[in-house]
Structures are given as structure tokens and as C-alpha cells.
């Protein structure tokens, strides 16, 4: 009787081991069959915050102030509407970072992920949704009085934004002035995007 009981327990143990080995094999096959997530600056695949990954400037997100606070303080402001999984926004992140390099102490640079804009029928003039036109990237520049001096969709060249900010700060045009000095060294890192 003890021999039959031993044989039965051994078969029960073998069955459990067989099932656990089969599950382990399936898990290994699943892991080996998974494709790696390749994302880069030239595609619309999400791979993290674009300012951290592509502009090397994590200090932009989250913004230090809201639009309402910035307008209340009569501080020139740059709104940059974006999404993290847009090729155009990824390529444009370095321009926004460059604006912060030169104007970050004097103006408020506020990147707005459009997915975070609450969906409602009406917005007031102190809310980013009031200025959002429905496409990204989009840049809106305000002067000290809160007046919009630039509102454009697409990849607006740095020079165009710089020209508006030079007007806001009463600086000489680029052709007549010395080159502005950078606050920090920010550069796209190709190593992070591979």
C-alpha cells in the first residue's frame, strides 16, 4: 500500500512540475517574441517627455508658473503647445529649450501638453485652452501687458520668436545687436534617442 501511495504522490509532483515548466517555457517564448520599443525623433511614438529626451531640458516641465500667474505678474510669456508623441513636437522641443536659454530669466516659458487641457465649452483669457488652435506645435507669445504679439502653428523658427521677444524687451534687432549669451548649454543628445 505504501508503494502505491508513494507512486501516486510522485505522479502528482511530476504533474505540478510539468505544468510549472510549461508555464515557464511559455513566459520565455513570450519575452523572446516581444519586439523592442523603438522610438526616435523622426516618428510619432511615445518615448517620454520630449523636453527631457530631445531637448535635454527637464527644467521646462512642469512649468514654474501658470499662465494666469504669469499674466498677473505682468511677465512676458511664451506658451508652447505640444504632445509627447508627435514627430513635429519632438523636433521642435529644442527650439523651445533655446528660447529658455536666452529669455528664461526675464520671460516665463510655459510648455502645455494639449492632452492636459480640460475639455470645456468656454475658456477665459487666463487659461491656455483659450489660445489653443487645435494643432501642435503652436507658439503664443505675450508681452508684459498680456497682449498676444505672436500666435502661430507649426514649427515657428527660433528667429521669429526671438524677433518678437526682442520687441517685447526693447532689444535691438538681431542685425544691429551683439549676440545674446546663453544661460545654459542645452543640446539634442543623439545617444538618448537611439
DSSP H helices in 34-86: 50-53, 67-72
> 90 vs 12, which has greater pLDDT?
90
Cβ atoms of 120 and 129 within 8 Å: the answer is: yes
- CA–CA gap between residue 153 and residue 137 (Å, rounded): 6
Report the range of poorest mean pLDDT among 30-44, 52-66, 87-101: 30-44
Residues in the chain: 194
| Class for the domain spanning 50-173 | alpha beta
Domain boundaries, the chain: 1-34, 50-173
Whole-number pLDDT of residue 35: 65
> 11 vs 75, which has greater pLDDT?
75
- CA–CA gap between residue 89 and residue 53 (Å, rounded): 12
Cβ atoms of 63 and 111 within 8 Å: the answer is: yes
Mean pLDDT of 38-62: 84
- Going by pLDDT thresholds of 50, 70 and 90, the confidence category of residue 166 is very high
Whole-number pLDDT of residue 1: 55
105 has a pLDDT exceeding 80: yes
Mean pLDDT of 135-163: 97
- Going by pLDDT thresholds of 50, 70 and 90, the confidence category of residue 194 is very low
Mean pLDDT of 75-101: 95
- CA–CA gap between residue 25 and residue 72 (Å, rounded): 62
Q: What percent of the chain has pLDDT over 70?
A: 80
Whole-number pLDDT of residue 165: 96
134 has a pLDDT exceeding 60: yes
Phi-psi region of 165 (alpha: psi -120 to 50; beta: other; left: phi over 0): alpha
Amino acid at each position: 500500500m505504501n508503494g502505491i501511495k508513494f507512486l501516486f504522490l510522485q505522479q502528482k509532483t511530476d504533474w505540478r512540475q510539468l505544468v510549472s515548466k510549461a508555464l515557464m517555457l511559455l513566459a520565455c517564448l513570450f519575452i523572446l517574441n516581444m519586439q523592442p520599443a523603438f522610438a526616435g525623433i523622426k516618428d510619432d511614438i511615445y518615448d517620454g517627455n520630449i523636453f527631457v529626451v530631445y531637448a535635454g531640458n527637464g527644467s521646462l516641465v512642469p512649468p514654474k508658473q501658470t499662465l494666469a500667474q504669469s499674466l498677473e505678474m505682468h511677465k512676458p510669456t511664451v506658451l508652447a503647445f505640444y504632445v509627447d508623441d508627435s514627430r513635429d513636437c519632438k523636433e521642435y522641443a529644442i527650439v523651445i529649450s533655446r528660447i529658455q536659454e536666452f529669455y528664461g530669466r526675464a520671460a516665463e516659458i510655459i510648455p502645455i501638453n494639449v492632452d492636459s487641457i480640460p475639455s470645456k465649452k468656454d475658456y477665459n483669457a487666463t487659461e491656455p485652452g483659450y489660445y489653443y488652435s487645435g494643432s501642435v506645435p503652436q507658439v503664443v507669445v505675450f508681452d508684459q501687458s498680456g497682449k498676444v504679439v505672436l500666435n502661430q502653428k507649426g514649427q515657428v523658427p527660433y528667429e521669429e520668436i526671438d524677433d518678437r521677444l526682442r520687441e517685447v524687451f526693447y532689444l535691438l534687432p538681431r542685425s544691429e545687436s551683439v549676440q545674446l549669451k546663453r544661460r545654459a548649454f542645452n543640446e539634442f543628445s543623439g545617444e538618448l534617442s537611439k
